Structure 1
């Protein structure tokens, strides 16, 4: 099959959706499909075997600078996407694709226009709550939809009136698997040998809840929190750590390339996942568990689907530093329980390995294409 993976930020940003597109492209190419990635002009490139096309766009920051759109986040993102669509539509419509796979409903209009012009089938990938006026009418015209979790599928059903097929995001288990710890990490960071190491991995956005982890630290004796990621919330989080006198116990590592994450997961005691909004899956907890690292996560969004509570980690209420501290302390005080969780975690995470995920995505593709290409 010829498949277009269409998403502006695939080539401009680092994040869960973006990594999903690159990984999906790589896995589809392995299975003999012809895959094109269509994204915005940006610096990000990965080796996948897919062809990559980039197109200019007018960023959401430009649109949000206009007074009528200053607080209209969804509308600004929509306009950003539509400006790319102007340049991308000839390629999207002329690429002789069997499948156009979107990751955001902001791209529904150009995809549906391309379908009218080319006959391609449109698959809507659902990862969040990117809703806007008029999206209901457009979404109901797609040929199929997939959602990254049951939680997200229920949200989409409430908005659009249909329930997408649940296809969890995938992880590369050739990369994410148990390995020996990096024995130099503590020395490089100047962390005492006896200090428990907690890890957060993700973009630094307010809704990721890293503030909760920082505010829990005074209740977790000696623990050091490593924050792997960057984003708009970093300065605020650093100010909170300074205000609480925790500068030596909160370490900002910046963005860590994915190939370096397994060694980091192998070298800490627990992963903390603290989101309280917009968390429809949770790729960080899945990667950590695949590496044999137990997780303490909030009972929110997709986290209860990706963490086996009591078996590979614990779930706590969101935005509750005391509850987070209690769960972390319980596991730190019980090495045998933590070891049992670490041993169980990789097998649990194997359900999210890419071969199983691509099997489900291919099944959706084949259900909507015509008989002439079904065997491809």
Structure 2
């Protein structure tokens, strides 16, 4: 099977666990994976990703003489690399070309037969240049802000790659509107059901759970309003971000007291251990004023894998994942409907909860597991 170079702008990133998960799943499919990292991060990250980062190859360390060797040994498709560099507007042409050759050198020296990038930003631009210079396949996956709020030469990238991966049906439709000739496939980021399991013989936590960054598209303002409207429900908020203090102030203004607890960021190990004990997950995603949005939220799939009832919005990838019997969908930015859905979870009888938990986990196992995702990606890479 092909050796795949993963071209990443930053790695590891605590809020981007899906990147490391995908690389490990591809290895389990039989691919040799080479992380090609433009900027190696040293901040908080998942333990497994920290270990994976130790194997990363850094283009910045490529000797000049090796870049020159790559420069003077292009593939027959080198003109497409030059056209891409010249046509794009976001990056310095000189910088993109030179650093693209560095990526090509790393890929060549590590036997990469396909290059794949996460996010349609600089990493994808460099992957396209490197792949075309070497004459290997190239693909990338879009996630959200890189399409809807911070798009960089998106149409050009869509038509320049051999395959583009969308994380949900709505995104695939939107990308096709931008570039009708692009090759687009929907492959949702999967979760590891062996890690995210239902609770077994552990004391329940009589509260709801929110997990995510404190940014506008997560809908935390709607969540707080819904909790206030409900009157008795309580929630623990796990995560951090620029709006955390603003959310604290809003909770105080609403007089929510200890009905809302801010727990800060937590690693995967905490989620696997504690999250299954909660009443359910609340995830009221929406569009931020700058058009940012979550397109295929991992947290929903993780919650369903653990058998948690999910309360979320009828929005983007949520509609692909949450079906009747697995959770409750509400309209976007509607605290009243959100409060009503919270009550529906509270009204579930123990047998109803057990049925929903089993149905949710089965759906993840069948459609949205890491294994299913990796199998689909592997087929794409092998066909290019």
TM-score, normalised with respect to structure 1: 0.81
- Residue 256 of structure 2 corresponds to 246
- Residue 85 of structure 2 corresponds to none
Q: 1:100 to 1:360 in 2, by over 3 A?
A: same
Of stretches 280-289 and 124-133 in structure 1, the one that deviates more from structure 2 is: 124-133
Distance 2:321 2:332 in 1: 16
Kept in 2: contact 1:41–1:55 (CA 8 A): no
- Residue 199 of structure 2 corresponds to 179
The reply on whether 1:235 has 2:260 as its aligned counterpart is no
Q: Which runs of 5 or more residues in structure 1 are unaligned?
A: 57-74, 187-195, 369-376
- Per-residue CA distance 1:165-220 (angstroms, 9 max, x = gap): 1111111111012122643x85xxxxxxxxx4111111111111011111111222
- Residue 96 of structure 1 corresponds to 111
Distance 1:340 1:76 in 2: 53
- Per-residue CA distance 1:239-259 (angstroms, 9 max, x = gap): 101111113111111111112
Distance 2:97 2:380 in 1: 29
- Residue 348 of structure 1 corresponds to 363
Distance 1:78 1:234 in 2: 33
Q: CA deviation at 1:320?
A: 1.1
Q: 1:344 to 1:135 in 2, by over 3 A?
A: closer
- Residue 141 of structure 2 corresponds to 125
Of stretches 112-121 and 174-183 in structure 1, the one that deviates more from structure 2 is: 174-183
Distance 2:217 2:202 in 1: 30
Q: 1:225 to 1:78 in 2, by over 3 A?
A: farther
Q: CA deviation at 1:95?
A: 3.8
Q: CA deviation at 1:83?
A: 11
1:135 to 135, 150, 154: 154
Instruction: Name the structure, 1 or 2, with higher relative contact order (CA <8 Å, separation 6+).
Output: 2
- Residue 27 of structure 1 corresponds to 25
Equivalences, count: 336
Q: Which runs of 5 or more residues in structure 2 are unaligned?
A: 61-87, 288-292
- Residue 41 of structure 2 corresponds to 42
The reply on whether 1:360 has 2:361 as its aligned counterpart is no
- Residue 5 of structure 1 corresponds to 6
- Residue 329 of structure 1 corresponds to 343
Distance 2:202 2:96 in 1: 45
Q: 1:238 to 1:89 in 2, by over 3 A?
A: farther
1:224 to 212, 220, 234: 234
Q: CA deviation at 1:133?
A: 5.5
Secondary structure in structure 2 of the residue aligned to 1:324: helix
Kept in 1: contact 2:118–2:124 (CA 8 A): no
Alignment RMSD, CA only?
2.8
Kept in 2: contact 1:181–1:267 (CA 8 A): no
Q: 1:133 to 1:345 in 2, by over 3 A?
A: closer
Q: 1:313 to 1:77 in 2, by over 3 A?
A: farther
